[in-house]
Structure 1
Amino acid sequence: MDTATTRDVAHAYVGTLERRDWAAFGALLDPDVVYEMPQSRERIRGRDAYLRFNQEYPGDWHLSVRHVVADGARAALWLDARVGDEPMIANVWLDVSDDGLVRRVTDVWPEPFEPPAGREHLVERYDAD
């Protein structure tokens, strides 16, 4: 897989989700796509189930790409996400087949947290972008 093509697929993946263009989104997915969320230990198998999962996802959610790194058939995405008024960060890993279809998705939704005490002398705090 060409890295530029993988990068284009990654941007199209997020763009079609954000626009709720379900036909275009489904066209990007391999029929046997596998989607996983490590935090909840959920797995979805197949294009139809994954498409329906996104169509039925609750809330007013939005996604935008902050950064994409592509290498061969794999892409890592850093996304700004929002559900309602709550901003979040998501990390998404995509595996793309030779024919340009997304065959595997791993979504990681890290929760922000306060750092532990005792390292203030080593770090500076910054505002999230």
Structure 2
Amino acid sequence: MDETSETRQAALAYVESLENRDWPRLTTLLADDVVYEMPQTRERIRGRPAFLRFNTDYPGDWHLRVRRLLADGRAAALWLDVVVGADALEACVWLDVDEHGLISRITDHWPEPYEPPPGREHLVERWSA
């Protein structure tokens, strides 16, 4: 399998794992030192355990559907339809995949900047605007 196909498969498996709350599968897709960033909230999470905890603890009912996926080499871009409770949103997610086929960086872009909800301070670091 070539690099781009491997990256595309990793991106689809990432979204499917999140949507299905399949945490064991998600664990197998992530590099130990994965970095997750949300520029709109200026939050960064470092490491697989913290990223998994962030997702398992995330409140509410949320769902993801891939609208479009582009992969090139070890990078992928996803355009997602996101439903959180009664709110329908769109998000763009950039993924970097390392030489072992593991996701090493995730950057979530949401439509508008916002202040993060309380309760995840122990998992994230924030940077200045």
Do these two structures clear the TM 0.5 threshold for a shared fold by scoring above it?
A: yes
Unaligned runs of 5+ in 1: 112-129
The whole-number CA distance in structure 2 between the counterparts of 1:23 and 1:77 is 22
Letter in 1 for 2:90: I
Q: Which segments of 5 or more consecutive residues in structure 2 lack a partner in the other structure?
A: 113-129
| TM-score, structure 1 normalization | 0.84
1:61 aligns with 2:62: yes
Q: Which amino acid aligns with 1:54?
A: N
Counterpart residue identity of residue 67, structure 1: R
Would you say 1:70 and 2:71 are equivalent positions? Answer: yes
* Structure 2 partner of 1:94: 95
| Equivalent residues, number | 111
Return the alpha-carbon distance in structure 2 between the equivalents of residues 104 and 55 of structure 1.
19
Matches within 5 A, 1:1-129: 2-111=3-112
Higher relative CO (Cα under 8 Å, sequence separation at least 6) belongs to 2
TM-aligned CA deviation for residue 85 of structure 1 = 1.5
Deviation for aligned residue 1:98: 1.1
Name the TM-score, length of structure 2 as normaliser.
0.84
- Higher Rg of the two aligned structures: 1
Quote the residue 1:121 is aligned against: none
For 2:65 and 2:5, how far apart are their aligned partners in 1? 19
Q: CA deviation at 1:25?
A: 0.5
Cα deviation digits, residues 29-63 of structure 1 (max 9, x gap): 00000000001100000000000000011110000
Give the whole-Å Cα distance in 1 for the aligned partners of 2:4 and 2:97. Answer: 10
RMSD value, Cα? 0.8
Superposed CA deviations along residues 59-79 of structure 1, whole A, max 9, x for unmatched, are: 100001000000000000000
